[in-house]
Structure 1
Amino acid sequence: MVSSPHEAMHRIFQEYPTLFSGVAEVLGVGFPPPTTVTVLPNDLTETSPVERRVDTLLRLETENDGPFLLAIEAQGKKDPNKPASWAYYASYLLTKYRLQPMLLVVCQDRATAEWAAQQVSFGPRQWPLLTLRPLVAGPHNMPVITNPAQVRKDLALATLAAITHATHPNAGAILKSVTTVLRDTPQSIANPIIELIAQGLGKHPAAELWRKLVAVDLSFYKSPLSEEIREEGRVKGRAEGRAEGRAEGETRRAAEDVLEVLAVRGIDVPEEARERITGCGDPETLRRWHRRAVTTSTAEEIFEDE
């Protein structure tokens, strides 16, 4: 099953297609900013029953180098079958579109990223026929951005960096720098960022931290995530209120039961004993007093050994 981090790591390039140029620059490869970007169908299935889908596929137009295809794969773990699939994607895309293909792999853990970055050759040892060299973005080479000024400089890159650093020790500072910038960012721009980071962090501990930062720092926003957090708070508050109300009601009834048994048996209950019974908030103690009230000769005897 596809995980939410997997979706966020490649879908961000659909939301911000020019992000690739920034990522490539961070990785030390020069790709000029595209002049136009087209999101293409990601289905690479042929007429045979084998289905092959790249996560995201973009056509990028550039002024000097012309158009090229960018396939983006979000990789969550090592998979020995993937290099062959990626080589297939490249050759298929070249055949179908007659444009040079480029592959970017995005990872959240260093071991997977370093594995994905390895050059893989296909063919006999004496004469390799194909060589696969994907460009890889992950926690090993994405910047750790904790300065709001850097976030403001490239919000899309900062978003991807936050997702790839989901398990970084400074995840809190990274996420805080993003919410600091989002405070004065138009809601139409901030909302996709909020949702992408929430999706990208998945079930990592940083996800809960992000939810809290959104709830506090961005409480004035009405993004789906912030509304969800606020609704969870309201539901939790109502549930806790109901639970407290039920507990108080049960305790009150237990105290009344003790007094009723004493009254039915004709035992006088001094004011001090009555206050002690009605003021008790422990259901177990009240149950014990109730049992004693059935046999005791005075109200004070129910408190013996307490």
Structure 2
Amino acid sequence: MVGQSHEALHRIFQKDPALLTRALQKVLHVPFPEPREIAALNVDLTEIEPVERRVDTLLRAETDEGMYLLVVESQGKADDRKRGSWPYYLSYLYEKYRCEPVLIVITQSSATARWASRPIQLGFPGWYSLTVRPLVLGPDNVPVIADERQAERDVPLAVLSAMTHGRGPGAAAILESLASALRTIDPDSAAVFVQFVDSCLADPQAKQMWRDLMTAIQYFWRHPLAEQVR
């Protein structure tokens, strides 16, 4: 069953598509070209046969160097079925749109990140017919943003930091910095980000702290958009 944390981890990129390319550039140090425009696409990859296949989030990025499809998968744990489905997604999307697909996996687990980063190689050893190398965002490379000014400079990245690192002894500083930074952006966006973070906090103490912080900023927590996300 798909949980709230799974949904929030990829839907943040639907809310702010530019965050994904910034993460590729700044976190993974991938020289991805600066997009002129990013559009969300239909995530349904089902064919005529009754086999349902859906990616989590699918974005089309237009750049000076060409068009790219950004395929975002939220992954909670290792799942060997992805060995077949991820290559299928990429091949299908290339055939359908005739532009290069890029697979990005986001996770809150270091172990899952290590698993996801391993190449998927199909074919004869030493002469593989297909190799898939996911780009992975997780606790080991997403920056810890625990400074208020740093959070204000890039609020969506600070939200991603809280969603990824919102547990352990450093959670308090991360959440407090983000709570202050949310006051500097428009209330509609803040309300959605508030719910994304709440959905991803698995640590009961961190979740309660976040809700206490948001109670002090009641407008964000009670905003109609936050209710829609819930």
TM-score normalised by the chain length of structure 1: 0.70
Asked whether the 8 Å contact 2:155–2:182 carries over to 1, the reply is no
Cα distance change of structure 1 residues 95 and 220 upon mapping to structure 2, 3 Å threshold:
closer
Letter of the 2:114 counterpart: E
Which residue does the alignment assign to 1:58?
59
Q: Deviations over 1:43-67 (max 9, x none)?
A: 00111121110001111111x2121
Superposed, which structure 2 residues align to 1:263-302 within 5 Å? none
* TM-superposed deviation, 1:189: 2.6
Asked whether the 8 Å contact 1:61–1:67 carries over to 2, the reply is yes
Runs of 4+ aligned structure 1 residues displaced above 4 Å come to: 224-228
1:226 & 1:15 partners in 2: Cα distance? 12
* TM-superposed deviation, 1:24: 0.6
Q: Deviations over 1:213-263 (max 9, x none)?
A: 1112x13545349998xxxxxxxxxxxxxxxxxxxxxxxxxxxxxxxxxxx
Which residue does the alignment assign to 2:151?
151
Q: Which has the higher contact order (CA 8 A, sep 6+)?
A: 2
Cα distance change of structure 1 residues 53 and 220 upon mapping to structure 2, 3 Å threshold:
closer
2:108 & 2:81 partners in 1: Cα distance? 19
Asked whether the 8 Å contact 1:83–1:132 carries over to 2, the reply is no
Letter of the 1:169 counterpart: P
Which residue does the alignment assign to 2:174?
174
* TM-superposed deviation, 1:30: 1.4
Q: Classify the secondary structure of the residue corresponding to 1:2.
A: coil
Q: Deviations over 1:54-95 (max 9, x none)?
A: 001111111x21211011000000011112211110000001
Which residue does the alignment assign to 2:30?
29
Asked whether the 8 Å contact 1:70–1:101 carries over to 2, the reply is yes
Q: Deviations over 1:130-155 (max 9, x none)?
A: 11101000101100000111111111
Which residue does the alignment assign to 2:119?
119
Q: Deviations over 1:151-203 (max 9, x none)?
A: 11111111111101132431111011000112333312311111111122256
1:140 & 1:204 partners in 2: Cα distance? 22
Letter of the 2:31 counterpart: G
Letter of the 1:7 counterpart: E
Judging by fraction of residues, say which structure has more helix: 1
Cα distance change of structure 1 residues 33 and 168 upon mapping to structure 2, 3 Å threshold:
farther
Judging by fraction of residues, say which structure has more strand: 2
Aligned residues: 226
Moved more, 14-23 or 119-128: 119-128
TM-score normalised by the chain length of structure 2: 0.92
Q: Is the radius of gyration larger for structure 1 or structure 2?
A: 1
Asked whether the 8 Å contact 1:72–1:106 carries over to 2, the reply is yes
Coordinate RMSD, CA, aligned:
1.9
Which residue does the alignment assign to 1:276?
none
1:130 & 1:83 partners in 2: Cα distance? 11
Structure 2: gaps spanning 5 or more residues: none
Which residue does the alignment assign to 2:70?
70
Structure 1: gaps spanning 5 or more residues: 229-306
Percent identity, aligned pairs only?
Answer: 45
Which residue does the alignment assign to 2:42?
41
Q: Classify the secondary structure of the residue corresponding to 1:35.
A: strand
Superposed, which structure 2 residues align to 1:1-306 within 5 Å? 1-25=1-25, 26-62=27-63, 64-202=64-202, 204-216=204-216, 218-221=217-220, 223-224=222-223
Letter of the 1:177 counterpart: S
Cα distance change of structure 1 residues 50 and 221 upon mapping to structure 2, 3 Å threshold:
closer
1:151 & 1:225 partners in 2: Cα distance? 24
Letter of the 1:170 counterpart: G
Letter of the 1:59 counterpart: R
* TM-superposed deviation, 1:209: 1.6
Moved more, 87-96 or 186-195: 186-195
1:185 & 1:203 partners in 2: Cα distance? 26
Which residue does the alignment assign to 1:254?
none
Which residue does the alignment assign to 1:297?
none
